Amino acid sequence: MRFRQRARHRTVAGLTTLLLPLAALVGLAGPAHAAAGAKATYTKTQDWGTGFEGKWTVTNTGTTSISSWTVEWDFPSGTSVTSAWDADVTSSGNHWTAKNKSYNGTLAAGASISFGFNGSGSGSPSNCKLNGDSCDGTTVPGDAAPSAPGTPTASAITDTSVKLSWSAATDDKGVKNYDVLRDGAKVATVTTTSYSDTGLTAGTDYSYTVQARDTADQTGPVSGAVAVHTTGGTTDPPPTGNKVRLGYFTEWGIYGRNYNVKNLVTSGSAAKITHINYAFGNVTNGQCAIGDSYADYDKAFTADQSVSGTADTWDQPLRGNFNQLRQLKAKYPNIKVLWSFGGWTWSGGFAQAAANPTAFAQSCYNLVEDPRWADVFDGIDIDWEYPNACGLSCDTSGAAAYKNLMQALRAKFGSNNLVTAATTADGSSGGKIDAADYAGAAQYVDWYNVMTYDFFGAWAAQGPTAPHSPLTSYSGIPTAGFTTADAIAKYKAKGVPASKLLIGIGFYGRGWTGVTQDAPGGTATGPAAGTYEQGIEDYKVLKTSCPATGTIAGTAYAHCGSNWWSYDTPATIGTKMTWAKNQGLGGAFFWEFSGDTSNGELVSAINSGLS
């Protein structure tokens, strides 16, 4: 039985020409250090009147190896680079920056490397710097980047302004200035340890951090963040009650689906949730690992795509979804964000992780609490599909492995961080809930996201048709125990507190084609066509393309033409939320935001149903 598939989109970009300031200028790795005597020289190798070919040569005339290099220069107005090779070249106005490729960053003593470009105009470069120092090699940059400044404090907050102050950073060669970042974007560079930001919007949440730069133009880590709420204005109240309202945000949704963090704001959903699971981090080599670095912390969002309304810049310390989540949390301080690891595709890595839970927990902590984005995340979520059972692959770690893993994570992350998990909803006798010690692990988690969906689907191509997320059993259900009520009852019977169980809602439907029968239980010829995957479609599409024609077991189904779909609607979600409250559950979660309508009607149904 396959419970769920989560499709991932991987993006591979080969940038041999100057297109966008992408990964080359993320600015997240430590700055390059030039060896003594390193030089960069420029020659114009061709000139055809309206354009030219230029070449930079970097030479290590010192006695130690250089591990990476960055060449910067200014062109006069009207002169620009149009394409480049053997380096990643980007610009900010008339200032141009070239960074080594992965294959030519290391220069042994006495070695040289060249990169070239085509240009337009007739100007020549000026103000050349190599690794932050003069291109003629006459000076040597400092060895260490500056420390992080102290977390700013806010005072004199008005409708449109705030004064920020912070303790100084330290550096072996001296601190030159500080960048002030509002919601992750630089708004000022100052030489003092204070700054007054003006022109703000009344009644609005902002987040401020500070970053120091030394005399060699090396930047250090970003300070802690201070949240500021300007006076005046009005804001949406947070959800009422103490029930969890959690949604999954997928890292790959920013690609083909074009669903950004800002959509949580424009849909109204951000005002109606309490938690976000960011999906997914990878699990490989027994460790937590980045899932998609470009989506996570590199992609530059334009002003209209950004939560703050400010475009990302090539030199800001953090971009991508992480920075957008930071901006969202500044706007909605009640929202907590967890980083979810695993999922259907990457659960195969948990077997190795379970062999050394302490080392796995340490790796996860190091990644989640990385200083570049530690303020973004409030904990970790584990999506292991499935411990001591079969999903995309089969695990034989043993019944105790899951408890041991969660115990190690709680010990490392402590009581100030959330530790949660997505768990099976297989309530059948001898099924997946019985395969692992979920009851023993429950003492270490804040809650379980019980995946009460994907019970049935068109992987059984000939049917019978059945609702993929039944609340209760019904006459003719294909498999006994494959319901929300059965799963919750089994967890409770094993001793898992009801308050640590969340009911799951799918923001999509599963369907078959070749169906002639309206009611569930009909035969089919295969999966119905879907936008991204056969047999699956978003609610926002189905509500108009195949409207619900009936309900069964607390969920809706639709028969249109030869297609048969099942999915939840605002009405059936209301029924499920009432049931969840009567069961004493801790709240609800859903997979995932982009399946909802542009005005967030499913999120609204969850929020109002739990209020």
Residues acting as catalytic residues: 385
Helix and strand counts by DSSP (H, E) for the chain: 13, 31
Nearest to 357 by CA among 413, 393, 387, 401: 401
Contact 575, 605 (CB under 8 A): no
- Which backbone phi and psi does 290 adopt, to 5 degrees? -60, 140
Buried b (16+ CB within 10 A) or exposed e, 43-65: eeeeeeeeebebebebbbebeee
The residues with which 342 forms a beta bridge, in sequence order, are 383
How far apart are the C-alpha atoms of 107 and 441, rounded to whole Å? 51
- Please state, in angstroms and as integers, the Cα–Cα distance from residue 98 to each residue in 14, 68, 90, 129, following that order: 16, 11, 7, 10
d(CA 349, CA 403): 17
Could you give the angle at the alpha carbon of 326 between the alpha carbons of 324 and 331, nearest 5°?
Answer: 95
Instruction: Output the six-digit token pair for 45.
Output: 């190798």
Burial pattern 469-497, b for ≥16 Cβ within 10 A else e, equals bbbebeeebeeebbbbbbbbebbbeeebb
Q: Is 521 exposed, middle or buried (0-12, 13-18, 19+ CB in 10 A)?
A: middle
Contacts of 366 (CB under 8 A, 6+ apart): none
**Helix or strand run (H / E) with residue 403:** helix 401-413
